[in-house]
Structure 1
């Protein structure tokens, strides 16, 4: 309902449409549509292992400490690696082991990222899968 509060004459025709009933009808139709749509059940079929009491693997993976010093010197378990060819040999040997050793990469906080990126690229190129960063606490201060 509209109310004319103005200084116009009573002969003016009101040209506005009352949209309240239209909105009510649209809401009713929307509710009916939501109710009538069948529920979509989404399920993923998984084949779970049956033997839940299997013993854990007895072979613990070997841990290799790989450090990159501030000047780019690479240390494999505390021993300096003289060149990239020797590092490639170490990484090839690690990739060939079953299970692969866990390589803990610990870059010095002052080392350029270029040196660390080259070590990571060599590890990826040679097939080393288990590599992770350690010593992040040195960056917290």
Structure 2
């Protein structure tokens, strides 16, 4: 410690903090080395291999092409369909895969191929997708006509 007089205002005590900082750094390094690394396990459900591959359906249903135009018009295999009847049509197609277990058999359902115009509204697409999901359709694809 050094005592100095500061223009007559009394003695001033300065503490040397260098040894304190050195001790703290050594303790920090010791804790960093000795503390175990924290690891959190993450569960991942991986698909299990099957003994026999599933057989493809003998006569797969024809795919259904849904077209959404820029004006919001929805077409079912080329014919315009109002949104009010779209859910009923999806329910009929979704019932094809109903095997009574609560889980639909996707191999018996047709592919739903959705094609949208570049300027189509997202809201119409979202309504079509939600109706397909409500009908428990499992095979939904997005296709491009090659514009």
TM-score for both structures, normalised by structure 1: 0.62
1:5 aligns with none
2:66 aligns with 66
Distance 2:37 2:29 in 1: 14
Task: Tell me the CA shift for residue 65 of structure 1.
Answer: 2.4
Task: Tell me the CA shift for residue 40 of structure 1.
Answer: 4.9
Q: Does 1:108 pair with 2:117?
A: yes
Give the match's secondary structure for 1:92: helix
Distance 1:45 1:71 in 2: 45
Distance 1:125 1:48 in 2: 26
TM-score for both structures, normalised by structure 2: 0.60
Runs of at least 5 residues in structure 2 that lack an aligned partner in the other structure: 98-104
Q: Does 1:83 pair with 2:92?
A: no
Q: Does 1:54 pair with 2:51?
A: yes
Counterparts in 2 of 1:94-105, with a 5 A limit?
94-96=93-95, 97=97, 98-99=105-106, 100-105=109-114
Task: Tell me the CA shift for residue 15 of structure 1.
Answer: 3.8
Query: Structure 1 residues 136 and 89 mapped into 2: Cα distance closer, same or farther (>3 Å)?
Result: same
Stretches (4+) displaced over 6 A: 45-50
How many residues in Structure 1 have an aligned counterpart in Structure 2?
Answer: 131
Runs of at least 5 residues in structure 1 that lack an aligned partner in the other structure: 3-7
2:35 aligns with 37
